[in-house]
Structure formats: C-alpha cells, structure tokens
Amino acid sequence: MEPRVILIVSIISVLVLTDLTVADEECYQKAVEVVQPILNHFVELKMAAHNSQLKDLINKINIKDEQIKALIESSEEQKNTINTLTKNNDALIKAQSGNEELIRIIKSEISQKNNEINSFKTQICEDLKKASEEKDYFNIKLLSCSDNINKNKNSLLDKNVGEIQEKTDQAMSKESQNKDLTSQINVLPQNLTKTIENVGKCDEISPCPTASKGLFHIKHPEVSAFEAPCNGSGWMVIQRRMDGNVDFDRNWTEYRDGFGNLRGEFFLGLEKVHLITQSRQHELLIRLGKVNGSTDFVQYDNFRIGSEKDSYPLESVGNPTGGAGDSLIEHHLNIKFSTIDRDNDVACRNCASYMGGGWWFNNCGYSNLNGRFYKDGKTDDENGIIWGSWHEYDWSVSLTFVEMMIRPKPF
C-alpha cells in the first residue's frame, strides 16, 4: 500500500474514532497507537531519503576526493618535471663551466706550445750562429791550409827550379830531359820580365811620400786621383778618430766612397782601399790611444780587402806585431763588411746597429774602430771604439784615438 493512502486511511480512522466514540483518554491512546507506527514509518521514510541524499553527498565528496587526488598527483608530476628540468639546467650550467675550464686548459696549452716554439726558434738561431762560427773557423783553417800549400808549392817550385837549373847542363845530351829543361828555361825569362814590371809598378803606386807629411794628391794606376793624409814615413792614413766630431754611423754607400774631414776624423772609403791593396801587398798600421793618454800600435804585413761584389771582405791581414795585440784574425778575417743598412754579419741581430759604425762584423767580434765615440773613454752600451786585445776585452772601454794606415810592403 502506498504511504499516502495509508496516511489518509489513518487520519480518517482517527477522525471517525474521535467523532464517533467518546473523546476520552482511552480513545486518544488508541489513536496514538494507530498513528504512531505511521508517523514512525514517515520518519523512517524521511531518514531513508536523507540517507540517500547523504550517500549522494558522500559519493560526490569521494569523487571530489578522487579529483583532488588526481590534481595532487598531477601536481606531483609537474613538480617532478620541474625538478628534472632544474637538474638538467644545473647539468647544463655545470657542462658550461666544464667547457670554460676546458677552453682555459686549451688556451694554457696553446700558450705553452707558443713558448716552446719560441724557445725552439731561439735554439735554432743559436745553432745557426754556432754553425756559422764553425763554418768561419773551418774557412779560416782552410785558408790557412791553402796558404801553407801555396807556400810549400812555391817553395817546392823554387827548389825544383834550382834543381832543374843545376841539372840542365848535365842533361843537355839527354833528349828526354831536354824538353822539360827547355820549357823551364823559357819560363824563367817570362818570370823575370814580370818581376821587372812589378818593380816598375811599385814606384808608380807608392801613394805617400816618405819624406814629408800632410795632405797629398794620390795617383794610383787602379784608382782615380784622390786626396789623402800621409804621415811622412810612406804611410797613407785611411781612417782616423780623434774628437768625435764626425758621425761614423753611416750607410753602405758612404763607407764605400768615404766620408768625413781628411784633416780630422774620416774614413777613406772601402773601394779605394780595395783597389790599392789588391794591386800589390800592403802593410796595415793601427795606432791606438786611450783617454788616459796611453798609446800603442799593431802592424800587419799583408792587408788586403776584397771587392764590393763580395761585400769588401777582409781577405788577409798577415802577421801581427806590436803591443796592442791582434784583434782581427780570430773573429774578423774573411768576414764581409757590414753597415747599418747592409747586415752581412753572422749574428741574429744587426751588429752595425748594435755596435755602431761599419766593420767586418762577425758575431760581432773583438774589434770595431768605427764604433761610437765617447769623450770620457767609457760606455755601458758596449758600442764604443774597441780593440779587445789592448784593453783586456773590457767592452766598457772606448778608445779616444785611432789611426789606420797602409803602405806598400817593401820588397
């Protein structure tokens, strides 16, 4: 039965009973007994309805909980993603830092390699220098050997000529020897003629008078007439230093052609000295003076310089005599001439720029009579006028007087 019908029947019954019977306490009790279960039923129905709504609510709450859980899980995932990204970012930063360190290490290695290359270059330069010095040393040895061979050859030749002359009379009857002897005899007059010619030339090319001194017009078969100072003993002055009034830092052309003041400081010129000393054997006299007034000299018996084509090398000096000692043979013989604009030396640097003037610079050597003039006779720059063997190879010394002179070697 429907609850609504039950309710209506119950109400009607109560009304009937209330109206038809006596409205007393007993009647009321009966009514309550009838209605009470109905009311209880309604209450139960209500409760059931409420319970149903409650269940719905609980379901909704559960759904919401699930959604919230899902959101939380999603949030966790995002958080994890963010953490992962942060870690990746940290790793990238670390990698970047690592790259910078790598670059720094590579740069450091490059710098080290550069240093090694520079050191290697320096070593090569030193080796080249050493090799060049050894080459010079062997050249000198070779020349010395060559001189000795020539001397021996000449000596033997002279000896042979003598022997042949002796044997000529004895071997006249022998046809086989006769041919050789005739040839030798033919050579003798030619040599004699040559010697006579040379003797004649000697008179022509003696450039300075032996009895008077001063400036003279010099005539020489190989050179155009020029003026030069003569010292009165047949010596012609080819270079002089005395007061520092002339700058000796000159270029190649000036050293070739000469410069300065013939009555004071000057350099006669390499070309003239070359032509004169090539024509016959010459002596070289060098007079030196220090700031304290002391003087000395050195004389060589076979001075000769080569041609411009070969850079005016110091081809020969011969044997030295004199208290100033030798400062040419060991380091300057067979060495080309160098000037500030013509670096023919064997040093890595430009010796003419470093030492001053022009000279037969090797690496750079023991002498430089064209160095810079220091009136007080000393310098900290090692570029003064030097002749090592006379001042104990003290390169702070600078000489204050020099004269270089030449004359034909007497027969």
How near is the Cβ of 385 to Ca ion at its closest, in Å? 21
- Tell me how far, at minimum, the Cβ of 206 lies from Ca ion, in Å: 39
133 vs 257, which CB is nearer to Ca ion?
133
Nearest-approach distance from CB 132 to Ca ion, in angstroms: 10
Q: Which is nearer to Ca ion, 343 or 382 (CB)?
A: 343
- The nearest distance, CB 253 to Ca ion, in angstroms, is 19
Kindly state the smallest distance separating residue 355's Cβ from Ca ion, in Å.
11
Give contact residues for Ca ion (rule: CB under 5 A): 343, 345, 347
Closer of 125 and 188 to Ca ion (Cβ): 125
Closest CA to 246 of 219, 273, 268, 225: 268
Indicate the residue among 326 and 345 with the shorter CB distance to Ca ion: 345
* CB of 300 or CB of 337, closer to Ca ion: 337
- CB nearer Ca ion, residue 247 or residue 343: 343
Q: Which is nearer to Ca ion, 237 or 351 (CB)?
A: 351
Cβ 225 to Ca ion, closest distance in Å?
37
Least distance from Ca ion to the Cβ atom of residue 208, Å: 36
Residue 274 CB, nearest approach to Ca ion (Å)? 22
Quick one: 339 or 367, whose CB is closer to Ca ion? 339
- Rounded Cα distance, 305 and 286, in Å: 16
Judged by CB, which is closer to Ca ion: 132, or 177?
A: 132
At its nearest, how many Å lie between Ca ion and the CB of residue 361?
8
Tell me, letter by letter, the H, E, C secondary structure of the chain.
Answer: CCHHHHHHHHHHHHHHHHHHCCCCHHHHHHHHHHHHHHHHHHHHHHHHHHHHHHHHHHHHHHHHHHHHHHHHHHHHHHHHHHHHHHHHHHHHHHHHHHHHHHHHHHHHHHHHHHHHHHHHHHHHHHHHHHHHHHHHHHHHHHHHHHHHHHHHHHHHHHHHHHHHHHHHHHHCCCHHHHHHHHHHHHHHHHHHHHHHHHHHHHHHHCCCCCCCEEEEEEEECCEEEEEEEEECCCCEEEEEECCCCCCCCCCHHHHHHCEECCCCCEECCHHHHHHHHHHCCEEEEEEEECCCCCEEEEEEEEEEECCHHHCCCEEECCCEECCCCCCCHHHHCCCCCEECCECCCCCCCCHHHHHCCCECCCCCCCEECCCCCCCCCECCCCCCCEEHHHCCCCCCECCCEEEEEEEECCC
